[in-house]
Amino acid sequence: MENSWKMFEEFHIDEEMGFALPNPLVELPHPYDAWISIARNLPQLIEDGQLRAEVEKLATLSTDGLEGHKEQRLGHLALGYLTMAYVWGRGDGDIRKVLPSNIAIPYCQLSEKLGLPPILVYADCVLANWKKKDPSGYVHRITLKEKMSMFLVEETTSVRALKRHKPWNMDILFSFPGGDCGKGFFLISLLVEMAAASAIKVIPIIFKAVQCEDSETLQDALREIASCLKRALERFHQIHGKYCMPYTMRAAVKYYVDPNIFFNVLRIYLSGWKGNPSLPEGLLYEGVWDTPKQFAGGSAAQSSVFQCFDVLLGVQHAAGGASSVSAAEFLQEMRTYMPPAHRNFLRSLESGPSVREFVLSKGDASLRETYNKCVQAMVSLRKYHFQIVTKYILIPARRKSKEKGTSKGSSKSEDKGTGGTSLVDFLKTVRRTTEKTLLKEG
């Protein structure tokens, strides 16, 4: 890999936004604006019981008029929202098993062009589902205290990105029912992606340092990785509504994701039709396939960030027992839900030199410690992810089961992630395999 952002162009990685789509479009030309109109009014249409009727009125459009990657991504995002809303309705158990051809045909055509499945994926609802409230970026007058803190902020790529794409000036394009719960959930996930951007940037430097056996440069680059992953964890903490940014970035930035609303409302609309007892056979895409198809819902496992640093640091999820193999297979499957350019980037990392083996071979205690800080940062992220899953899914699921008077075993389907996997087993396994990657002394 060259130490240049030119090589990232083919992988659709942005210097400031990382894997997120930089400056997504917010409008589509006629006649595709009809999709946008419904997607933008989704919560109200669902509440009024008009969503399905409005979707069924739509004309069947060819996707040939959508020019360029960003128009296609916005189209895929809008159709993803329409599809999830059509299938799950009000979230009260009234489910549709057939997606009408007027939506299914263009959705599948667009999915084929983008190399994505015809379901709302992480690349849609997080990476391409944001905008600036005020395109000029002006929001408030900066106080003296904020000006002073500007000089104290480390000028990494992720920090510069947060200054340029001010979090208090960011919003999501489309929402599901549940008020600001979805806004908080998607934007916090986006901020985590942005925090990792400058870490991605140093990967070519790391590979070159290993090839040239330049331990000093490698150690500096690994420090940057550890620092970025630490900032990603700080962004993650905002899910509780905590301020985790310097004063320059705090103005009115306080997102909160309510556990009950997330579990009982938002999570329903993010659920897929693979491993889901509500749609055991999957969803029939009318006019496209003659039999139902199964696709997993959006999942954090579809983020390229975690898998990127797993590969870089040599985390081997398949090493271990049957649970490890199962987790590794699930992570590989989730790659098919990523944009093809991001999948190709992960494959390119796998063909690069082994950072872990190089650190081992040097026997340098200081280098080993710096490498371990990177791995430990990944462990910390995964531990916190498990805490979030416990608070937002496992506890509400058990509470719901208790309210219904059902057995403990009957809540297992509720304990599954939107990606369709067993959350507890998967998260514990990936955390354990990440911990095993830490290098021991001597």
Contacts of 87 (CB under 8 A, 6+ apart): 95, 96, 99, 273, 279, 283
What SS3 state is found at 397? helix
Rounded Cα gap, residues 291 and 285, in angstroms: 8
What SS3 state is found at 132? strand
Q: Is 84 in contact with 120 (CB distance < 8 Å)?
A: yes
The DSSP call for residue 86 is H
The DSSP call for residue 276 is -
Q: Is 261 in contact with 179 (CB distance < 8 Å)?
A: yes
Burial of 349 (0-12, 13-18, 19+ CB in 10 A): middle
With residue 29 as reference, give the H or E element that holds it. Answer: none
DSSP string, 134-147: STT---SPPPHHHH
Rounded Cα gap, residues 78 and 72, in angstroms: 10
Contacts of 244 (CB under 8 A, 6+ apart): 234, 235, 237, 238
Q: Is 385 known as a binding-site position? A: yes
Measure Cα distances from 255 to 182, 238, 259, 268, 351 in Å: 10, 6, 13, 21, 39
Q: What angle do CA 103, 57, 46 make, to 5 degrees?
A: 85
Cis peptide before 31 (omega within 30 of 0): yes
> What residue numbers does the annotated binding site for heme b cover?
385
> What residue numbers does the annotated binding site cover?
385
